[in-house]
Amino acid sequence: MAGMWSAALWIAALSMLASPGMAAAQDVPADYQAVLEREIGRAVARQEELGLRVATDGEFGRTSWFGFFFEGLDGFRLEPSLFRFRDTEGGSFEWPTCVAAAPIRRRAPITLAEYQRVKRFARTALPKATLPTPSAFHFFRFTQPFDPAVYDQQRYFDDLVAVYRTEVSDIGAAQVMVPEPKPDWHAVRIAGERAHAFSAPSVVRKPP
């Protein structure tokens, strides 16, 4: 099952308001956290009612499947993607994406609170943590995801993988999903009480 559950538009709107940099604190609805908690609890309960063995929070608290993660890191700035998106009416636009402009550092656990919340709501299902794949950091800029004055390719990936290894270790989840930004999706399926830390080059592994 994918990590993203089909959320109501108003949940998505609340999430946008509550995210760093999206709006001033006074603009965030006072009942945002209460609504978020309630709807995630309902989503987890529904998955269990359907007999699913693994439950997700639907990523209700995120502005996107990816952007929230690099917002939790130091060292990045936004720049345009190296290709343009086109819609069905002939319009085109650029996608702003992250570029490493300084050493990559994780300020604090990024997805731990989300996982702990799912774990709290889950009764029969195995709670699942979802992280954006490391390739999302260079997907939109091909071979230019970093400032060459700061990184070469090897050091860039060493630091990025180190962030993921620490994040997965801190979560301590038995199941971690890492969706790829392309038509075929990959997942990391790990049996046991704790996930093993990632190591290069096999950061993303196909399930058996």
Contact 98, 82 (CB under 8 A): no
Q: Domains in the chain, ordered, with CATH? A: 9-189 (3.20.20.210)
Angle at 128 between CA 60 and CA 135, to 5 degrees: 80
What's the pLDDT score for residue 60? 86
Angle at 73 between CA 68 and CA 75, to 5 degrees: 125
For the whole prediction, is pTM greater than 0.75? no
Angle at 129 between CA 125 and CA 134, to 5 degrees: 150
Per-residue pLDDT of the chain (208 residues; tens, 9 = 90+): 444 554 444 444 455 445 544 444 455 677 888 888 999 999 999 999 999 999 999 888 887 778 889 889 999 999 998 888 777 888 887 788 999 999 999 999 999 999 999 999 999 999 999 898 888 888 888 889 999 999 999 999 999 999 999 999 999 888 888 877 554 333 333 333 344 333 333 333 333 4
What's the pLDDT score for residue 69? 92
Beta bridge partners of 55: 127
